Structure 1
Amino acid sequence: MKKLPKKNKGVKSFFFRCALNMSLTDLIKGNGHIKGLNRDHLREMQDYFTDPEEKALFQKACDFAYENLRSVLRDNGDSFLAHMVESTYILHTEIRPICEEAGIKLSVLDYVALMIHDVHEECKDVYLRDIGKMFGKEVYRRIDAMSTEATGIDRHRKGFDKVIGTAGDIPSVPLLKLGDRTHNVRTLYGKEEWKQMEIAADTRMRFVPLARYLGFEAIAQDLDDLSRIYTLVDEDKYRESDTKIIGMLEKNGIRRVVPQYALEASPAMVSH
């Protein structure tokens, strides 16, 4: 059964209508088009897995994301499938190498969870419990940790608190959320102004110190720079927030991936 966009997420373009008759394999080979989808990035990640079972599981996640999100549009007009692919590609190319240098190996379960993390939120007839049945408990736990049902002004704080609170059991969750947020911020240009300001402020307040604490300095600087485009920066306020977030991370025993970088950068953020 084909999935319909949730509520009024957008209108199917001509290219999307054509893509409904395409398979994911067709798209990777160069046939058809889904707006925002980088086939090379998807192909590179699929080729990364050499173990047959891991390769099959990641392919299953790609197919699941394709089936459910190919015709659902984001605010910037791209397919939500593109967001899944690019968030996971950030994990693959900007987060994984630094982890591996530190002796930390990401699991195929991390890739799978990030590739499908928005399906249950964007498709009204797909539930998180369904994903758990299809992909197993560990994928379910990762996606659940990245999701929040909170609404209103506190939803960003509650969502972040949930990520950090889960990290003791699943250390990769902050890394997955960082990949997701990084792509969201890099595509803020497509959102309404009030959403841009809200997400930018939350990013600067919580995710910049998180990235620096973990040791992902390049991502932290990118998020910091992009946040300043969309929101006014109160340096004193953010320095206070940095200290608070770092204290929270330390209290929860969150492991630094690259301690030497994090210890140098995190106590005081770079001033512009």
Structure 2
Amino acid sequence: MLRAASILQGNDLKVEPRYQRRLDELVELCQQSLPSFDEERLRRAFRISYWAHRNDRRKSGEAYISHPLEVAFIVAKDIGIDDVTVVAALLHDVVEDTEISLDFVREEFGEPIANIIDGLTKISGVFASGAMGHAENVRKLMLSMATDIRVILVKFADRLHNMRTIEAMSRHKQIKTASQTLELFAPLAHRFGLFAIKSELEDLSLKVLHPEDYRAILEGIKDSRANRESYIRTFSEPLKERLRLDGFDFDIYGRSKNIYSVYRKMKAQNKPIDEIYDLFAVRVVLKSTGKKGKEDCWRVYSIITDLYKPLPERFRDFLSVPKSNGYQSLHTTVLGPDGRRVEVQIRTREMHEVAERGLAAHWKYKEGVTDSDGQMERFLSWVRELLES
């Protein structure tokens, strides 16, 4: 029977320096972003994954280890739930693609990680079989097969890295993968509240499915960047001055709509990009917390609508009624200088982390979660209830 000791102590396993450096960067990221972190376990998982995939190459010609390593990076950076999920990301293909068995994973890393790997292997089997029906039915099937919700989180990261490296696939496979991503993975990421991942999945899918539209929008955004940034500065300066006078601790910055959302708006309104006026968007992130943070959001809203005329029909209050994935923010659209529409989002730093990183961040602030088994079990149960409701 294969034993980890023979892999971990073997002198013939020479890790390429670039992958060793990337592993060290992953360790540093985990130390900074996770509530607790077992470095020895992660390094052991990397070494086993490196050995298991030692003879494998990606379609790009790169060593296969680059894929699980980058998937682990996405999990640590963009999801940031716990080190169990990062370790599972490093090992996510070993049972499906190599001689490593699920029993081996269970013996070396314990039941939770083995369960995640098992769930990922089963879900991969569904996609490999081609038994793909309506996207909503597949989402339900994925959720039913994932006894541990962390299976889905690793799957998001896996799909995101595959989309980032999709150029190596055949054109037929690119179209199939991008269509599946847009119909299935992006909406599910949205339900998890993973806005950054959802937006990147949408943009990368559009790049494959409608490359000319993608390039035109990207160029349009680039061409207007200098004017847009100048306008945002003009819009923001009076607001910054008022907020400082009132003693707020804040960050304020312009943000670009993701390319896919601009594409959808152009199609819905049947207009070219230069007629889509609400490309101007500003976010105010406050550093106050708790009850005071919410109160401050309303105070800032009052200041903004005092400076600029609001469009009442575009107001959204996600403070009083948060979205099911934990998202909280105030949204308003106002008429800025020259009568241009500017969309403004107002939130606290905690709300911003939830908006970017979803349910895991929401739970962290809700429960003050560390990584005890009881807290993690409650978190996973809570997520499932939200997704199935």
Write the distance in 1 (CA, Å) between the matches of 2:55 and 2:139: 29
Give the Cα separation in 2 of the matches to 1:82 and 1:206.
25
Bigger Cα Rg? 2
**Alpha-carbon distance in 2 for matches of 1:155, 1:143:** 21
Number of the residue aligned with 1:259: 327
The more displaced of 48-57 and 184-193 is 48-57
- CA-CA distance at 1:152 after TM superposition: 3.4
| Higher mean C-alpha deviation, range 50-59 or range 134-143 | 50-59
Does 2:159 align with 1:175?
no
Pick one of 70, 73, 77 that aligns with 1:86: 70
Instruction: Tell me if structure 1 keeps the 8 A contact 2:36–2:82.
Output: no
| 1:44 pairs with one of 25, 30, 41 | 25
TM-score by length of 2: 0.47
Shift of 1:203: 0.4
In structure 2, the CA distance between the partners of 1:71 and 1:258, relative to structure 1 (3 Å rule), is: farther
Name 2:14's counterpart in structure 1: 23
SS of match in other structure, 2:65: helix
Contact 2:13/2:51, CA 8 A, preserved across alignment: no
CA–CA distance in 1 between the matches of 2:37 and 2:194?
A: 30
Map residues 225-244 of structure 1 onto 2, 5 A cutoff.
225-231=203-209
Report the Cα distance in structure 2 between the residues aligned to 1:207 and 1:114, rounded to whole angstroms: 17
Give the distance between the partners of 1:196 and 1:87, measured in 2 at CA.
19
Q: Which amino acid aligns with 2:130?
A: I
Alignment of 1:109 with 2:84, yes or no, is yes
Offset at residue 204 of structure 1 (A): 0.3
Q: Is 1:163 the equivalent of 2:142? A: yes
The 3 A distance-change label for structure 1 pair 190 and 121 is same
Name 1:154's counterpart in structure 2: 131
Q: Looking at secondary structure, tell me which structure has more strand per residue.
A: 2
Asked if the contact 2:175–2:209 (Cα under 8 Å) also holds between the matched residues in 1, the reply is: yes
Separation in structure 1 between the aligned mates of residue 88 and residue 207 of structure 2, nearest angstrom: 30
Amino acid at match of 2:143: I
Q: Which stretches in structure 2 are left out of the alignment for 5+ residues?
A: 3-10, 212-262, 269-322, 330-344, 346-354, 356-389
Note if 1:120 corresponds to 2:111: no
CA distance in structure 2 between the partners assigned to 1:160 and 1:122 by the alignment: 24
| 1:132 counterpart residue number | 106
**CA displacement, residues 14-41 of structure 1 (integer Å, 9 cap, x when unaligned):** xxxxxx95533xx4xx3xx6xxx4x443
After superposition, the Cα gap between the structure-2 partners of 1:74 and 1:53, relative to the gap in structure 1 and judged at 3 Å, is same
**Equivalent residues of 2:95, 2:121 under 8 A apart:** no
Alpha carbons 2:139, 2:188 under 8 Å: kept:
no
C-alpha distance in structure 1 between counterparts of 2:188 and 2:138, whole Å: 14
CA distance 1:155–1:176, shift in 2 (3 Å):
same
| CA offsets 1:11-67 (integer angstroms, 9 cap, x no match) | xxxxxxxxx95533xx4xx3xx6xxx4x44321222334999822111110110111
Where does residue 290 of structure 2 map in the other structure? none
Structure 1 gap ranges (5+): 3-19, 97-105, 240-254, 266-272
Is the contact between residue 214 and residue 258 of structure 1 (CA under 8 Å) also seen in structure 2? Answer: no
Aligned residues: 208
State how far apart, in whole Å, the 2-side matches of 1:66 and 1:137 are.
21
- Cα distance in 2 for residues equivalent to 1:258 and 1:40: 36
Q: Are 1:189 and 2:167 matched, yes or no?
A: yes
Structure 1 residue 117: Cα displacement: 0.6
2:186 is the alignment partner of 1:208: yes
What is the rounded CA distance, in whole Å, between the counterparts of 1:256 and 1:42 in structure 2? 35
Q: Which deviations, in whole Å up to 9, do the C-alpha atoms of 1:148-194 show, x marking residues without a partner?
A: 33343225868754531255x42322211111111011111111112
Give the conservation status (yes or no) of the 8 Å contact 1:113–1:142: yes
TM-score, structure 1 as length reference? 0.65
For residues 85 and 256 of structure 1, do their structure 2 counterparts lie closer, same or farther at Cα, with a shift above 3 Å needed? farther
Q: Quick check: 60-69 or 133-142, which moved more? A: 133-142
Provide closer, same or farther for how the CA distance between residues 113 and 162 of structure 1 changes in structure 2, counting only shifts above 3 A. farther
Structure-2 change in CA distance of 1:232 and 1:177 (3 Å): same
Which letter does structure 1 place at the counterpart of 2:109? F
Give, as a single letter, the amino acid of the residue that structure 2 aligns with 1:190.
A
The yes-or-no answer on 1:61 pairing with 2:45 is yes
The one-letter amino acid of 1:220's match is K
